[in-house]
Every structure is written in structure tokens, then in C-alpha cells.
Structure 1
């Protein structure tokens, strides 16, 4: 994880730092895995190290491009529907491709988020009134949870090689 930990100062700097560190932790769960290993299904759901990154890229687009940016799905840089399709990885997509996709979506999220104050609120049909602060915290939660899933999957994959 290359981002230094920010432990004091402005609330926004802390929130953005923790989110970026969790983004990095999620990417790190696939570090050194082959494309085949990153696709390996060890649970009954679609969850693999690769699909977790694909899902995270979609979450970035759903919350920042669609919700905060007001973009239509056709204007987003990838899949942005709230369904199981967020975990779908195409046969031709490599681990490097999906990491690059996630990093692109994350950069775009940072740009969109920067346009809003933490206290700005928009109405969300599922969640009600949602602030930018809540969105950043929700993304921290989402990526921390999935980094934990990725850590467990990685541990199983590496152990199976031995």
C-alpha cells in the first residue's frame, strides 16, 4: 500500500485517505496472482479475486458517476447497474485489464467527489437523503469488506499451490 496513513487533520483528507488505502488493499489482494488464479472460484457465488475488483469498479461508477455525477449508464466508462452483473468478468479480460479499469473508475470518482462538499445531500431512491460524507464512508466500508474477502480467497489460492 503506497498511500501514507493520514491520522489527523481535515476530515475530508482523512476520509479520502482511508478510502484510497482500502482501494489499494483491494488491489493488493490480487497482487502476484496469475489470471487463472484470479478467476478461480472457491465459493458458490461469483466472488473471485478478479470479480471483486470488477465489482468495485462498478461500485465506483454507480455511486460517483451515476449518482453524484448524474451520468446516464451509457455515459459511464463501464458497467454501472446495481445487480449481479457487477461481478461479471469477460473471457478476454485479464487481471491487469480489470485493475486498470478499477483504477480509472477510482480516478474519475475522486474528480467527481471533489466537486461536492461533505455535507451536500442528494436523494437516493434506495437510501433516502445521502451526503457525500456518507458516500465516502459507504465506499470505505464496501472496499474494506471486499479486501477481506479477497485476502481469504488469496490465502486459499496460495495455499493450494503449496
Structure 2
């Protein structure tokens, strides 16, 4: 059996590997190190994990359900999704990311790859994964 025989399972596996790799970028860092800006933008390792939490909400919630950013509980813009508050810690950002990923898995579980969703314009589920 080749990996394409269970394409959905393989896509889920790859996505979880990428999620874990990004989360792993914070391993061994303290909050100060995770907030360190090495470029002119708002990009920090902690901010990047916060941003991908937003991305999960956009593509695996709004794109499927059509719910607003407010209903989902995410930032209003991609730029704002990188903004760290004083209360953001490695633990709190990782917890929020884990919760959002679990919600993404639940939302996508009942959908076939060729199903169409229209929360952000009509797309197939496989397109959301890509």
C-alpha cells in the first residue's frame, strides 16, 4: 500500500508534524527568549506560534463555518495575530494553540477531502489542507 492510498490520513499526519515542529521551536527557551525580536517585524518565535493559532482559526474554522473572527476568538488581522500581550507566555500560547488545533481536527473530521466549504469563498477541503 502506498502513501496515497490513505491521502487524508497522510495529510493529517503531515499537518500534525508541522504543528509539532513549530511548537518545538519553543523548547528550552524562557519567555524572554521566545519574545526576542531578531528582525524588524513583530516576528518572534512566540508570536509565530500565536499567529499560526490565528491561521488555524481562519482556515479550519471560518473557511468551513463562516463564523466571524470575533465568534472564533481570533485577531482581526494577520498583523494583529503576531501581537504579544503582557499575559502571553510560552505556556499560555502553547495551550491556546493546542486548543485551536484540537478544534480544527474536530471541525475537519466530518469532512471528506472533496467536500466543498464556503466560509471564505468556495473551496474544497483538500485545498484548505494545502
TM-score (norm 1): 0.73
User: Distance in 2 between the 1:35 and 1:104 partners?
Assistant: 20
User: Distance in 2 between the 1:113 and 1:30 partners?
Assistant: 27
Alignment match, 1:88: 83
User: Distance in 2 between the 1:42 and 1:134 partners?
Assistant: 33
Provide structure 1 residue ranges, at least 5 long, that are not aligned to the other structure.
1-6, 138-162
Provide structure 2 residue ranges, at least 5 long, that are not aligned to the other structure.
none
Partner secondary structure for residue 123 of structure 2: strand
Residues 1:135 and 2:102 are matched in the alignment: no
State whether residues 118 and 131 of structure 1, in contact with CA within 8 Å, keep that contact through their aligned partners in structure 2: yes
Residues 1:51 and 2:47 are matched in the alignment: yes
User: Distance in 2 between the 1:48 and 1:74 partners?
Assistant: 24
Tell which has more relative contact order, 1 or 2 (C-alpha 8 A, sep 6+). Answer: 1
State whether residues 50 and 93 of structure 2, in contact with CA within 8 Å, keep that contact through their aligned partners in structure 1: yes
* Structure 1 residue 93 displacement after superposition: 1.1
Query: After TM superposition, where is structure 1 displaced by more than 6 Å over at least 4 residues in a row?
Result: none
* Structure 1 residue 130 displacement after superposition: 1.6
State whether residues 61 and 104 of structure 2, in contact with CA within 8 Å, keep that contact through their aligned partners in structure 1: yes
Alignment match, 2:60: 64
Residues 1:75 and 2:68 are matched in the alignment: no
1:142-153 alignment, distance < 5 Å: none
Alignment match, 2:112: 117
State whether residues 61 and 109 of structure 1, in contact with CA within 8 Å, keep that contact through their aligned partners in structure 2: yes
Deviation digits for residues 122-148 of structure 1 (CA, Å, limit 9, x no counterpart): 3465xx5421111112xxxxxxxxxxx
Residues 1:106 and 2:101 are matched in the alignment: yes
State whether residues 116 and 122 of structure 2, in contact with CA within 8 Å, keep that contact through their aligned partners in structure 1: yes
Specify whether residues 131 and 82 from structure 1 end up closer, same or farther in structure 2 by C-alpha distance, changes over 3 A only.
farther
* Structure 1 residue 73 displacement after superposition: 2.4
Alignment match, 1:29: 25
